[in-house]
Copies of this chain bind each other. A is one copy, B any other.
Amino acid sequence: MNNIRDKIKEGLTDFHFNTSLSLESLPKKPKLQLEKASTKISLKKKQILFKRNDSPKGIYILLKGKIKVYQLNYDGSIQILFIYAHGEVFGYRPLLSLGKHPVSAAAIEDCELLFIPKEIFLKTLSDSVELSNQILKSVNHEFTVMVNRFTVFAQRGIKERLALSLLLLNEKFLLPNQITTEAEIKINRTDLANYAGTSLENLVRTIKQFEEKKYLRTIGKSIFIENFEALYILTGI
């Protein structure tokens, strides 16, 4: 019975970063080294963590809240590229090559993070084969995700993009120990429009369409998916 949901979940694997990196599974030594160096950061809603072209200072582990990663264009338009949720590790890629952040990051709700400074992370990386293997795997996975999402966004309309975005957000917004598979997708319409790559108005209308078709229901700004399969089929992936 949960078979379909599992299949969908599997089909989405290469469309989001979730679980691509887990520092928990490292051997004790590197894990301790990282833990010892980590400090806690709190971010208020809307606060910016880093900006495009900043030099990366370290890596982040999101303990609580949601972070959006986006690009701000010259004309003021915003594209949200990914959204990080509880447990996700990010910010390490540009560290690997002395590069700059190609994106900006900001809190979409109050957040708590762990911060591990660049030097410690790089040191641990050069000491631990396990960590460097995990990082390579993650970096590869992230590229695959971008390629797959690119194809959808380059070719499909808003119904398809939104269906995909909602399915991905459902996974993101599941609480750590939640048993049910229906998450409360609580995100403001502007962010969701910028994530799905469309205008606010068009987004609102598409949500309404989905609601009429019983693909989802809304309570205030929260969205609950009701028909996973229909949305999944719609994505065309």
Contact = CB atoms under 8 A, between A and B. Distances in A.
Given A99-B144, A140-B94, A236-B75, A150 B149 contact: yes
A147 interface: yes
Contacts of A103: 147
A102 interface: yes
A33 interface: no
A37 interface: no
Contact of A140 (B97, B148, B154, B197): B97
A146 B74 CA distance: 19
Contact of A81 (B98, B142, B151, B236): B151
Contacts of A153: 150, 153-154
Contacts of A136: 96-97
A124 B143 CA distance: 23
Nearest to A144: B102
B151 A71 contact: yes
A145 to B, nearest CB: 9
30 contacts: A71-B147, A71-B148, A71-B151, A73-B155, A75-B236, A77-B155, A79-B151, A79-B155, A81-B147, A81-B151, A94-B140, A96-B136, A97-B136, A97-B140, A97-B141, A99-B137, A99-B141, A99-B144, A102-B144, A103-B147, A139-B139, A139-B140, A139-B143, A142-B143, A143-B146, A146-B150, A149-B150, A150-B150, A153-B153, A154-B154
